[in-house]
Amino acid sequence: MVCFRLFPVPGSGLVLVCLVLGAVQSYALELNLTDSGKATCLYAKWQMNFTVRYETTNKTYKTVTISDRGTVTYNGSICGDDQNGPKIAVQFGPGFSWIANFSKAASTYSIDSISFSYNTGDNTTFPDAEDKGIITVDELLAIKIPLNDLFRCNSLSTLEKNDVVQNYWDVLVQAFVQNGTVSTNEFLCDEDKTSTVAPTIHTTVPSPTTTPTPKEKPEAGTYSVNNGNETCLLATMGLQLNITQDKVASVININPNTTHSTGSCRSHTALLRLNSSTIKYLDFVFAVKNENRFYLKEVNVSMYLVNGSVFSIANNNLSYWDAPLGSSYMCNKEQTVSVSGAFQINTFDLRVQPFNVTQGKYSTAQECSLDDDTILIPIIVGAGLSGLIIVIVIAYIIGRRKSYAGYQTL
């Protein structure tokens, strides 16, 4: 835990805010809103990030992911009254804000809408934006939840509108808390009902050694993401995770037979999310660059280690698996994606196509340099010629010495 802070929210008593930080850029927001009697009236805990596509001053387009929110405030969050429903209001960065509105019926309450505002005048996030100013994107949801239930959605939920992609996961919310006590009855989103997301926490104490046990080559799994009835993303790969925490290194092979895949496909971004009983999420985020190529831009992971602790890492500034749009990327040999000093992913028998999949099949592959054996031909020829030259030179020197010795005898 990094901090606990108590501060007033107009008309709503005190708010307890706790930011739970992961290793890099990956943390949850948690809000416990109390009324004037200091009883909890609204509880929420969730994770989110945003991907924004914007036009630059040289008339090209760039995509930026907003996940590191820095200092967060909750000014304007309210429990609600007879005239206004509950509201969560979040402010972060220079000119960024997020609002969720709720309403109540006889036996249900609803998440009515979400509003996200971002500031293209922020030169750190949008250094070369053509248009500067505050831009707001509104989304109507109307998600109905039984009145006394806590809404849970661990699975990824994605909203897209006006060049903005909003990603939400690990969501817990109860907008109308009864008698100041958050409910233990959970109402699951549809995605959680169709996938196993509840973690199984192992209690075995890890070995104190700092050297990981060598692992055999992981089994390759095939994963896909659908957009409606059509496949929009294909991936085949064996995955081996290298994790270092508290100076203890471990190697984990992902079993594709017990791993579930979800995700989303957009015009300029695509997401493949893997989860299992021990992996909360392992995200591979792809992006388009220069309107003609794709690459792996971001990897996020949150998982349970053998001692029950949670390991979380995120990096949205990667550049791997680069290939032309309309093709797939392939690398059969072992390749390492270095997410951070504490987390690397070894891939085996890799093939991925996050855009322009037709008829559910891979397009022509661009092979990685590790697979390109054509470079061996000139190396072999050059080595052979070098060896031949050396033999000739040695033979010449020996011949000269023999001739010189013969002249001395005469």
Average pLDDT over residues 260-288: 92
pLDDT at 59: 87
pLDDT at 375: 52
Q: Are residues 168 and 231 in the same domain?
A: no
Instruction: Count the helix, strand and coil residues of the chain and give each as a percent rounded to the nearest 5.
Output: 10, 50, 35
Listed residue (132, 148, 28) closest to 90, CA to CA: 28
Is the pLDDT score of 182 beyond 80?
A: yes
Q: Are residues 139 and 276 in the same domain?
A: no
* Residue 70 belongs to domain with CATH number: 2.40.160.110
Is the pLDDT score of 132 beyond 90?
A: yes
Strand pairing report for 320-324 and 248-253: unpaired
Asked whether residue 377 is domain-assigned, the answer is no
Q: Which residue has the higher pLDDT, 234 or 105?
A: 234
Q: Out of 80-94, 112-126, 211-225, 235-249, which region has the weakest mean confidence (pLDDT)? A: 211-225
Residue 113 belongs to what H/E stretch? Answer: strand 108-119
- How many Cα atoms are found within 13 Å in the side-chain-facing hemisphere of 261? 20
pLDDT at 384: 74
pLDDT at 145: 95
**Residue 376 tokens, joined:** 């061996």
Q: Are residues 172 and 265 in the same domain?
A: no
Is the pLDDT score of 114 beyond 80?
A: yes
Residue where one domain finishes, among candidates 192, 212, 243: 192
Asked whether residue 79 is domain-assigned, the answer is yes
Is the pLDDT score of 130 beyond 90?
A: yes
Q: Are residues 103 and 244 in the same domain?
A: no
pLDDT at 25: 41
Where does the pLDDT of residue 212 fall: very low under 50, low under 70, confident under 90, or very high at 90 and above? low
CA distance 383 to 372: 18
Q: Give the pLDDT confidence of 215-228 residue by residue, as tens digits.
A: 689 999 999 999 88
Average pLDDT over residues 104-118: 93
CA distance 127 to 179: 48
pLDDT at 373: 57
Asked whether residue 388 is domain-assigned, the answer is no
Percentage, residues of the chain above pLDDT 90: 53
DSSP H stretches of helix in 146-197: 190-193
Q: Give the pLDDT confidence of 355-392 residue by residue, as tens digits.
A: 999 999 999 999 998 756 555 556 667 777 877 888 88
Is the pLDDT score of 112 beyond 90?
A: yes
> What does pLDDT average to over the chain?
83
Q: Are residues 173 and 110 in the same domain?
A: yes
Query: 281: domain range?
Result: 221-369
pLDDT at 404: 54
Total count of domains within the chain: 2
pLDDT at 213: 56
pTM (predicted TM-score)? 0.56
Q: Are 325 and 310 in contact (CB under 8 A)?
A: no
The identity of residue 312, as a single letter, is S
Quickly list DSSP for 1-41.
--EEEEEE-TTS-EEEEEEEE-SSS-EEEEEEEE-TTS-EE
CA distance 196 to 188: 12
Residue where one domain finishes, among candidates 192, 210, 231: 192
3-state secondary structure of 405: helix
* Residues in the chain, total: 410
Q: Give the pLDDT confidence of 299-348 residue by residue, as tens digits.
A: 999 888 877 778 888 898 999 999 999 999 999 999 999 999 999 999 99
pLDDT at 10: 38
Q: Are 93 and 70 in contact (CB under 8 A)?
A: yes
Question: Phi/psi class of residue 294: alpha, beta or left (left: φ > 0; alpha: ψ in -120 to 50)?
Answer: beta
Q: Are residues 39 and 88 in the same domain?
A: yes
Q: Give the pLDDT confidence of 54-81 residue by residue, as tens digits.
A: 999 998 888 888 876 678 999 999 998 7
Residue where one domain finishes, among candidates 177, 192, 207: 192
pLDDT at 409: 47
Residue 401 belongs to what H/E stretch? Answer: helix 376-409
pLDDT at 390: 86
**Residue 201 tokens, joined:** 């926490």
Burial of 266 (0-12, 13-18, 19+ CB in 10 A): buried
pLDDT at 27: 58
Q: Are residues 257 and 299 in the same domain?
A: yes
pLDDT at 81: 79
Average pLDDT over residues 167-196: 86
